[in-house]
């Protein structure tokens, strides 16, 4: 029942955003399914892109009974994705998308992030845009064809990850500052943690010290999960959703794709623990002025989970929130940690 209420509430917010963004929307009968709204080209069925969005959101097509008339005479976007911080409007020809907000600071921040990450990572082209929505600010982002790596063919997972590692190594030259491990230890030793996780910290403390002590910080993408790493039809990688850039340990982006429960995460994590990426890791660590130690592979994963919990966006939060973030991130690595 709680899940149904959450979906109803999300769909309600999506309808409100649909009305707000109406001047940029193509005119027609729109369907709303949780956080996604779309105007089918044939008036009935979502196209392949819209179907993928619905699958990713765990939703099916909305059905005609949920339709509502919306759109402006000059609107060209046939898909709306409602998020807490942005409203995404996708061009019906799949050439570009608009990210729209009522907060101008978000636009300035995203433009800075895009310029910064484009030095090293393959990213969409992002430029400031003008929209017809009253009180709105926006950027126009080139449309990324392809699929997120979680939906890619299994034979693409390994080459995709190696491409990501190569970009991470190139980005490491921009490190500035160092990770404060003492602050982390002083806080987590006060936490009440599940027994298996406390045992993992004790078992891998030496490795965590090696990995995180004075680890160089880097303005990272910060959100390289399996839905933000895209694979184009020609096999090239593109990173989307550039809003989470912040200073994190230099290896954070490189290891983020190993955290998760989807088949792609589990497969890449198995390869990593087997040593398949030791050459790339050694090169990455060397570029940061550090030494890669294969015996600390598991400690490096645990270090990534710690870095996730203590990322700057959680700095002002209560300690309990950082604890919950650490437990949640570690839970996705529990099998790899090898503790009961």
**What tens digit of pLDDT does each residue of 310-319 get?**
999 999 999 9
Cα separation values, 146 from 120, 227, 271, 312, Å: 20, 12, 24, 32
- Record the tokens describing residue 90, joined without a space: 């996708």
Number of H helices, E strands in the chain: 13, 13
- Checking if the pLDDT of 174 tops 70, the result is yes
Report which DSSP code applies to 190. Answer: T
331 Cβ neighbours under 8 A, 6+ residues apart: none
Res 57: pLDDT: 72
Confidence of residue 62 (pLDDT cuts 50, 70, 90): low
Res 9: pLDDT: 85
Res 159: pLDDT: 98
Confidence of residue 61 (pLDDT cuts 50, 70, 90): low
Distance CA 85, CA 47 (A): 26
**What tens digit of pLDDT does each residue of 175-209 get?**
999 999 999 999 999 999 999 999 999 999 999 99
Beta-bridge partners for 126: 141
The radius of gyration of the chain from alpha carbons, rounded to an integer in Å, stands at: 21
Q: Considering the entire predicted model, what is its pTM?
A: 0.92
- Record the tokens describing residue 184, joined without a space: 């982390």
**What tens digit of pLDDT does each residue of 63-100 get?**
555 588 999 888 999 999 999 899 999 999 999 999 99
Q: Work out the average pLDDT over 30-49.
A: 91
Res 234: pLDDT: 95
Distance CA 24, CA 21 (A): 6
**What tens digit of pLDDT does each residue of 272-303 get?**
999 999 999 999 999 999 999 999 999 999 99
**What tens digit of pLDDT does each residue of 226-268 get?**
999 999 999 999 999 999 999 999 999 999 999 999 999 999 9
């Amino acid at each position: 029942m709680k899940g149904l209420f959450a979906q109803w509430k999300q769909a309600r917010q999506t309808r409100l955003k649909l009305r707000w963004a109406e001047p940029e929307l193509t005119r027609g009968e729109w369907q709303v399914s949780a956080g996604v709204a779309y105007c089918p080209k044939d008036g009935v069925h979502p196209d392949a892109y819209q179907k993928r969005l619905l699958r990713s959101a765990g939703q099916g097509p909305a059905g005609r009974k949920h339709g509502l008339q919306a759109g402006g005479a000059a609107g060209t976007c046939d898909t709306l994705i409602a998020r807490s911080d942005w409203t995404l409007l996708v061009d019906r020809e799949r050439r570009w998308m608009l990210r729209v907000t009522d907060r101008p600071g978000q636009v300035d921040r995203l433009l800075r992030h895009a310029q910064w990450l484009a030095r090293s990572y393959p990213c969409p082209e992002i430029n400031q845009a003008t929209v017809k929505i009253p009180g709105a600010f926006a950027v126009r982002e080139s449309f990324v064809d392809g699929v997120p790596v979680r939906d890619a063919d299994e034979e693409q997972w390994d080459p995709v990850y190696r491409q990501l590692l190569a970009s991470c190594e190139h980005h490491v030259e921009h490190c500035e500052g160092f990770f404060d491990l003492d602050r982390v230890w002083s806080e987590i030793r006060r936490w009440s943690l599940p027994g298996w996780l406390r045992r993992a910290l004790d078992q891998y403390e030496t490795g965590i010290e090696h990995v995180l002590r004075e680890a160089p910080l880097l303005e990272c993408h910060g959100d390289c999960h399996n839905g933000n790493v895209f694979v184009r039809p020609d096999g090239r990688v593109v990173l989307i959703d550039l809003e989470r850039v912040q200073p994190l340990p230099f290896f954070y982006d490189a290891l983020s794709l190993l955290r998760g429960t989807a088949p792609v995460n589990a497969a890449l994590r198995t390869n990593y623990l087997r040593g398949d990426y030791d050459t790339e890791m050694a090169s990455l660590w060397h570029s940061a002025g550090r030494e890669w130690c294969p015996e600390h592979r598991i400690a490096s994963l645990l270090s990534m989970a710690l870095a996730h919990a203590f990322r700057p966006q959680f700095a002002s939060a209560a300690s309990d929130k950082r604890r919950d973030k650490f437990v949640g991130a570690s839970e996705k690595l529990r099998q790899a940690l090898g503790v009961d």
